Amino acid sequence: MLEISRLSKDYPTPRGPLYLLEDISFSLGRGDAAAIMGPSGSGKSTLLYILGTLEPPTAGDVVLEGCHPFQLAERDLARFRNRHIGFIFQDHCLLPQCSVLENVLAPTLIQKAAANYRQRALHLLDQVGLKDRMDHRPAELSGGEKQRVSMARAMIRNPSLLLCDEPTGKSGQPLGGIGGRPAGGAAPAARLHSGGGHSQFDSG
Ligand SMILES: Nc1ncnc2c1ncn2[C@@H]1O[C@H](COP(=O)(O)OP(=O)(O)OP(=O)(O)O)[C@@H](O)[C@H]1O
Ligand SMILES: [Mg+2]
């Protein structure tokens, strides 16, 4: 389902390239869950950005659901990402001007049948314990509550691949419930979590 081969990533800096990821290969099958662990600054978020097709690798290949996303044109890549990937960002990246419910629904706005997702959004918000906060703005939420909104948003389109960048640190929410067995839709086909030196991995 997900195949990574010979992936490398470096960033140019004034003092020469910063080599972050070197020659990484692995694959995940349907139903697999995996954790990436390493110290701060070791490249965990960078790897997840590449798998989430938000950042291109310097070398190597990513194949998800039989598709080579980095070979797609920008518009097709955006559509592919929207359809197949759910991303819980380390800093949640919620839209500040939108309500909690609107944030969860944001990935569905390009759909013709966007209205059909409202019930699922409310259900996901219920699962993360925030249904009664659906009209709040992100600024009115705690850090952990923002992360829980981000979890619901990541699941709204039933992604094939759920990428979780240190999602349970502040939220107090085990991912097993939402990532593993969400009601109103199938579980994501595969999940990848990042964590710091200690494991926050919940195989759910
Ligand atoms: N655009 C960029 N240009 C240069 N360096 C970058 C860029 N983006 C990230 N880095 C560097 O890459 C390194 C890895 O960053 P990354 O965010 O992947 O680490 P991480 O393992 O997720 O750390 P943390 O546990 O603190 O979240 C850091 O040293 C960071 O400064
Ligand atoms: Mg990180």
Q: What is the pLDDT of residues 59-92, one digit of tens each?
A: 999 999 999 999 999 999 999 999 999 999 888 8
Counting from 1 in the atom list of ligand 1, the atom nearest the Cα of 39 is: 25
State the architecture of 2-177+184-195 in CATH terms: 3-Layer(aba) Sandwich (3.40)
Q: Is the CB of 82 under 6 A from ligand 1?
A: no
pLDDT of 166 reads: 81
Contact 51, 7 (CB under 8 A): no
- Report the range of poorest mean pLDDT among 23-32, 86-95, 113-122, 130-139: 113-122
Tell me the CA–centroid distance for residue 42 and ligand 1, in Å.
7
Q: What are phi and psi of 6, to 5 degrees?
A: 50, 45
pLDDT of 90 reads: 83
Residue 188's nearest CA partner among 76, 52, 37 is 52
Tell me the CA–centroid distance for residue 101 and ligand 1, in Å.
31
Counting from 1 in the atom list of ligand 1, the atom nearest the Cα of 196 is: 25
Q: In the predicted model, what is the mean pLDDT of residues 177-192?
A: 53
Give the closest residue (by CA) to ligand 1 atom 7: 11
* Averaged pLDDT of the chain: 85
Residue partners of 4: CB distance under 8 A and separation at least 6: 24, 25, 26, 27, 51, 60, 61, 62, 63
- Residue with the bigger pLDDT between 181 and 152: it is 152
Beta strands in 29-117 (DSSP E): 33-37, 59-64, 85-88
CB neighbour burial string for 30-62, b if at least 16 within 10 angstroms, e if fewer: eeebebbeeeeebbbbbbbbbbbbeeebbebeb
Give the closest residue (by CA) to ligand 1 atom 29: 41
> Coil, strand or helix: which one is 122?
helix
